[in-house]
Amino acid sequence: HRRFDFRPKTDPYCQARYTFCPTGSAIPVMKEEDVIEVYRLQAPVWEFKYGDLLGHLKIMHDAVGFKSSLTGKNYTMEWYELFQLGNCTFPHLRPGMDAPFWCNQGAACFYEGIDDAHWKANGTLVLVSTISGTMFNEMAKWVKYDNETGIYYETWTVQASPDKKSTVWFDSYECSKFILRTYQKLADLGAVFKKIQTNYTSIILFSGEPIYLGNETSIFGPQGNKTLAAAIRDFYNPFKPHQSVREFFVDLFKIIDHVILNHQFYLFYNLEYWFLPMKSPYLKIIYEEVPLPVGNKASFGV
């Protein structure tokens, strides 16, 4: 996933249904000698059944919690879409504009408190590590860097086949990936993680080798490819970005239908368009284990 030099200003056209990070606050500077507990937080985004097609989907949202021993205060940190999931996955087709218009950014949100009931009742709230105040402060600097340079949300993982060793053409960039990066950063700083099973959700598309199509200007600009521009617009036409989670999944099934019938998918990734020659099983939502990282214990003399 490409890193960018800065986060672009959001266009006023992009309106969130729910305010992003409404109670967010700056990450506090912890005292070096503080001992901070690190918690893994996970709960279902929305559980539903859709006939026998995909059965019961485990679509989870991930976050990380911290508790300071010195102050007793709890904090939650997560990463999610600025304009909700639909906007990150589907563009708007605006009248008078040739190119699809994307309202797609993701960012970290940090706030005081952990909603124990939410995480415990539906999912997971478990202690995974203990770190020093020094490590926490180093992590905070990294979060700032990560947030300023990794700005676009990416819903899809694209790989060649369901085989574990299969080629990954494109990696997703969403809430769980941020949590995994955070754990890795803490491990690099010397955090030691407990040996517990940790699973994450991925939405995977299966495709032959992707074909590079170009960027917005080369496809939709004055010298662009009118046929290709029309094909991309037609592909995105059925999907509506402003929608509830339920509507998002209805559109997801429209996509599956389109993809299976026509064996094609147009992917917008790092500001570029790609054609995916889709192949069976086309799309899978998986909930699989990703182990907690093993770090370098010596790096902070812990």
* Active-site annotation, residues: 61, 175
Which residue carries 């036409």 as its tokens? 237
All residues at 6 or more sequence positions from 63 whose CB lies less than 8 Å from its CB, including other chains: 41, 42, 76, 77, 78, 119, 175, 179
For 221, the token pair is 């600009």
All residues at 6 or more sequence positions from 97 whose CB lies less than 8 Å from its CB, including other chains: none
Which residue carries 């986060």 as its tokens? 7
For 146, the token pair is 């990560």
Contact 71, 36 (CB under 8 A): no
For 100, the token pair is 């699809």
The size of the chain, in residues, is 302
Contact 204, 158 (CB under 8 A): yes
What does R_g of the chain's alpha carbons equal in angstroms?
Answer: 20
Nearest to 76 by CA among 110, 36, 35: 110
Contact 41, 123 (CB under 8 A): yes
In Å, how far are 147, 170, 237 from 134, measured between CA atoms? 20, 35, 50
Contact 167, 187 (CB under 8 A): no
**Degrees, nearest 5: CA angle 116-295-136:** 50
